[in-house]
Amino acid sequence: MTHEFVHESRPGRVVFAVGARTRLAEEVDRLGLRRLIVVCTPEQADLAAELTLPLRDRIAALHPHATRHVPTAVAATAVARSREASADGCIAVGGGSAIGLAKAIAKDTGLPSVAVPTTYAGSEMTPIWGLTGADRKTTGRDPRVLPSTVLYDPALTLTLPSRLSLTSGINALAHAAEALYAPDGSPITALMAAESARALAGALPRVAADPRDLEARSDALYGAWLAGSVLGATTMSLHHKLCHVLGGAFDLPHAETHTAILPHVLAFNLPAAARARTALESAFGAADPGGHLFHLAEDLGAEMSLAALGMPEDGVDTVVAQALATPYANPRPVTETDLRAMVGNALTGEAPAPRPLG
């Protein structure tokens, strides 16, 4: 067998340990930062203040105004606040909303950032930014938005509710799954994606059974780190395209939307992606990865209906039109009929229908 691939490693430092939060000041010193803006959601303001207390003399602003999908107006306000504070760096505490806002600041100002994730979103490992306007989400890649340092502390995920832990973990699993059939994958990304899927598939039921299981939390966060890493190194396909459209058009919750959509995309794509199918069959211990994931998520309490998440019944036309308007990589061609079937089933919460080739 001959090999042909391109692999580009992303710069960045990762500190992974129970108690890694206590190394925040040390890592900030390592970067030479002196005036920091701290971003988080309103719900995480107390945690952000607690984590950054050792840096109190260097905190120029606490900005607890991150929100999902990073609306353009929210991003503009954060950029302006960082400039007013004469910040020379940013700390993001939280999940994808906080880290996405830090990326928006970096995109416009070039400020370096330190990410302290509290979910399994994986955004902290990618150079991908996203901003949401009136009716759609725009994404892009810029190496400046990749955090300089990421502190992974599994103990910070112990208070993440069981259902959100599940959907956040499946969000991460989607990164690994799409990396397995990405057109620009490499042997390294394939190994990392398969290991990520194995770790997440094994950890999420244990987290659901006992949210205080620190070993299960560590396994899940380890899988999420790998998933984010491969997301940042490969091209996103149909699943991420649909989730960006759904989030931008209807402001649906991010992780929950990934959870409802992923089984349908896997059922459609895996017949055309033999290696990805084999890796996911091994990770899940099941012959039908899409169907297995749907029933696992449903059994563990995830909402599998996009309608229940807030998508209007007449929204399928919008999703199909936007998804078809911009070309994207995918292991098999996608027609309007295919999209209507997948999104229609996800809308009502039906199990994924087999989509054989031909």
- Residue 244 belongs to domain spanning: 162-348
| Number of folded domains that form the chain | 2
Position 89 scores a pLDDT of 98
Residues 87 and 172 in one domain: no
Residue 70 in any domain: the answer is yes
Residues 50 and 136 in one domain: yes
Whether residue 208 lies inside any domain: the answer is yes
Task: Give residue 265's pLDDT.
Answer: 97
In a domain, 357, yes or no: no
Cα 88 to Cα 90: distance, rounded to the nearest angstrom? 7
The span from the CA of 128 to the CA of 39, in Å, is: 18
CB atoms within 10 A of CB 57: 6
Per the CB < 8 A criterion, the answer to whether 239 and 324 are in contact is no
Report pTM. Answer: 0.92
If we measure between CA atoms, which residue out of 47, 51, 18 comes closest to residue 154?
18
> Tens of pLDDT along the chain (358 residues)?
566 766 666 768 999 999 999 999 999 999 999 999 999 999 999 999 999 999 999 999 999 999 988 999 999 999 999 999 999 999 999 999 999 999 999 999 999 999 999 999 899 999 989 898 877 788 888 999 999 999 999 999 999 999 999 999 999 999 999 999 999 999 999 999 999 999 999 999 999 999 999 999 999 999 999 999 999 889 889 999 999 899 989 999 999 999 999 999 999 999 999 999 999 999 999 999 999 999 999 999 999 999 999 999 999 999 999 999 987 889 999 999 999 999 999 999 999 987 788 6
Q: Looking at residue 105, which CATH number applies to its domain?
A: 3.40.50.1970
**Of 157, 180, 210, which residue constitutes the final position of a domain?**
157
Q: What is the pLDDT of residue 142?
A: 93
Residue from 269, 244, 270, 266 nearest 257 by CA: 244
Region for 86 from its dihedrals, namely left if φ exceeds 0, alpha if ψ lies in -120 to 50, beta otherwise: left
Question: Could you tell me the CA-to-CA distances from 44 to 63, 110, 117 in Å, in that order?
Answer: 11, 24, 11
Q: Are residues 24 and 129 in the same domain?
A: yes
CA 357 – CA 336 distance, rounded (Å): 16
Is residue 341, in this structure, part of any structural domain at all?
yes
354 falls within a domain: no
For residue 357, give both structure tokens.
């080739």
Say whether both 136 and 198 belong to one domain.
Answer: no
Task: Quote the CA–CA distance of 180 and 140 in Å, as a whole number.
Answer: 21
Whether residue 181 is found in the same domain as residue 235: yes
Are residues 138 and 235 part of one domain? no
Last residue of one domain, picked from the residues 157, 181, 214: 157
Give CA–CA dist 200/122, Å, rounded.
12
**Does residue 355 lie in a domain region?**
no
Predicted pLDDT at 133? 86
CATH number of the structural domain spanning residue 186: 1.20.1090.10
Is the same domain home to 22 and 73? yes
Token look-up 């995830």 returns 302
Reading the block at residue 180, the tokens are 């397995």
Same domain, 144 and 179: no
Cβ atoms of 62 and 49 within 8 Å: the answer is: yes
Q: Regarding beta strands 128-132 and 137-141, do their DSSP bridges make them parallel or antiparallel, or are they unpaired? A: antiparallel
Token pair in block for residue 34? 């002196």
Has residue 37 been placed in a domain?
yes
Would residue 39 be called left, alpha or beta, if left means φ above 0 and alpha means ψ between -120 and 50 degrees? beta
**Do 150 and 166 share a domain, yes or no?**
no
Largest CA-CA distance found in the chain, in angstroms, rounded: 64
Flag whether 358 is in a domain.
no
